[in-house]
Structure 1
Amino acid sequence: MQFTKSRKMNRTRSLLAGIVLAVVAVQTINSPVLAGDEHGFVSKKYDIKGGWQIVEENGKTLIRFDKSFKTKGGPDLKVFLSPLSIADVSGKTATDNSIQLGKLQSITGSQDYILPDGLSLEDYNSILVHCEQYSVLWGGSDLHAAKSN
């Protein structure tokens, strides 16, 4: 009798664990990237390695490329937030309705891009590394967890 009761409890625990995981998975799929989440880049024309995350620091929101960030150099590389997903953006559309966060500070290593006050990340779908002069999209990453998983 004890064995049967134990078995039922184990099945119940497994079922509850499955339900909890399903709920967490659905929330993750529909949630934007949060401060502290780290994500990688998608290479387009050139390889981009490393990760990035959104950081809240000293009352500012910024995007931080991590110390393993690395890409090929170019003449006019800039970092943009785009309303398009990384799958839908091209070199020709990279700057359409996008906001420039600044020139790429370095082709390697950690670097920060401060978001303008009042900017809502909900209005943008991807972060891009783009050569504006020649309209060449190096690559980027989707801002929303549903698109980066």
Structure 2
Amino acid sequence: MKIKTSITKLSPIALIATLLISCESKPPEANVASNASPTPAATVNNKGEASRSGKFVSVSNPTSGQATLSTKGDKNILELDENFKTDGGPDLRIVFHKAPDLSSIAAPPSFGIDAADYIVIEKLKSTSGKQVYEIPKETKLTSFKSVAVWCAKMNKTYGFAILP
């Protein structure tokens, strides 16, 4: 208890200064691991239409940006934002997957996913920038928890975004 005896000898101003100096000044987000999955968001617009969005997390290849699944009129739309970017590949597709977090499912060394757990939406239109995909009406969106950039030729998951 040496600390207690030394604190009692400090003036109130010195005590406050000591406490302030000893506290970490990092913002709360600095305590989050850098490879942790970003928190996805579900929102409802002023028309009562729901949207689900999440940020891409890299798996086998650098992948970034945000994916948003929303309803526009009678159509379900997947939109990749203007910050979307991934590496090129021989046969890249946009897929919906049943699992929310593919970082452990599509793990090294193969980075592959099982055919029973995903559906292909369409070929990836571009490796960067804003793009929009219309989701087939028969797709049961509640069955899928994430969207991924996946190489069909190599069964390799480049990156994914959780859709709450």
TM-score clears 0.5? yes
Q: Distance in 2 between matches of 1:121 and 1:32?
A: 16
| Structure with higher helix content | 1
Q: Which amino acid aligns with 1:33?
A: A
Task: Mark the CA change 1:88 to 1:114 in structure 2 (over 3 Å): closer, same or farther.
Answer: farther
Does residue 67 of structure 1 match 2:82? yes
- 1:45-85 CA distance string (max 9 Å, x none): 11111112122224201110001111110001001001122
CA shift at 1:112, angstroms?
Answer: 1.1
CA shift at 1:32, angstroms?
Answer: 7.4
Q: Distance in 2 between matches of 1:112 and 1:66?
A: 9
CA shift at 1:96, angstroms?
Answer: 3.0
TM-score (norm 1): 0.68
Equivalent of residue 112 in structure 2, options 92, 107, 117 = 92
Task: Mark the CA change 1:106 to 1:116 in structure 2 (over 3 Å): closer, same or farther.
Answer: same
Q: Distance in 1 between matches of 2:152 and 2:53?
A: 26
Contact 1:64 1:111 (C-alpha < 8 Å) held by counterparts:
yes
CA shift at 1:93, angstroms?
Answer: 1.7
Structure 1 residue runs of 5 or longer lacking an equivalent are 1-28, 145-149
CA shift at 1:36, angstroms?
Answer: 4.4
Aligned to 1:47: 62
Identity rate, percent = 25
Equivalent of residue 124 in structure 2, options 83, 104, 111 = 104
Task: Mark the CA change 1:36 to 1:122 in structure 2 (over 3 Å): closer, same or farther.
Answer: closer
CA shift at 1:89, angstroms?
Answer: 2.7
Equivalent of residue 78 in structure 1, options 68, 93, 101 = 93
Task: Mark the CA change 1:127 to 1:55 in structure 2 (over 3 Å): closer, same or farther.
Answer: same
CA shift at 1:123, angstroms?
Answer: 0.5
CA shift at 1:141, angstroms?
Answer: 1.1
Q: Distance in 1 between matches of 2:66 and 2:41?
A: 16
Q: Which amino acid aligns with 1:117?
A: K
Aligned to 2:20: none
Q: Distance in 1 between matches of 2:105 and 2:141?
A: 17
Equivalent of residue 152 in structure 2, options 132, 140, 145 = 132
- Whichever of the two has the greater Rg, that structure is 2
TM-score (norm 2): 0.62
Q: Distance in 1 between matches of 2:163 and 2:52?
A: 10
Q: Displaced runs of 4+ in structure 1, greater than 4 A? A: none
> Secondary structure of the residue that 2:142 maps to in structure 1?
helix
- Size of the aligned set, in residue pairs, is 115
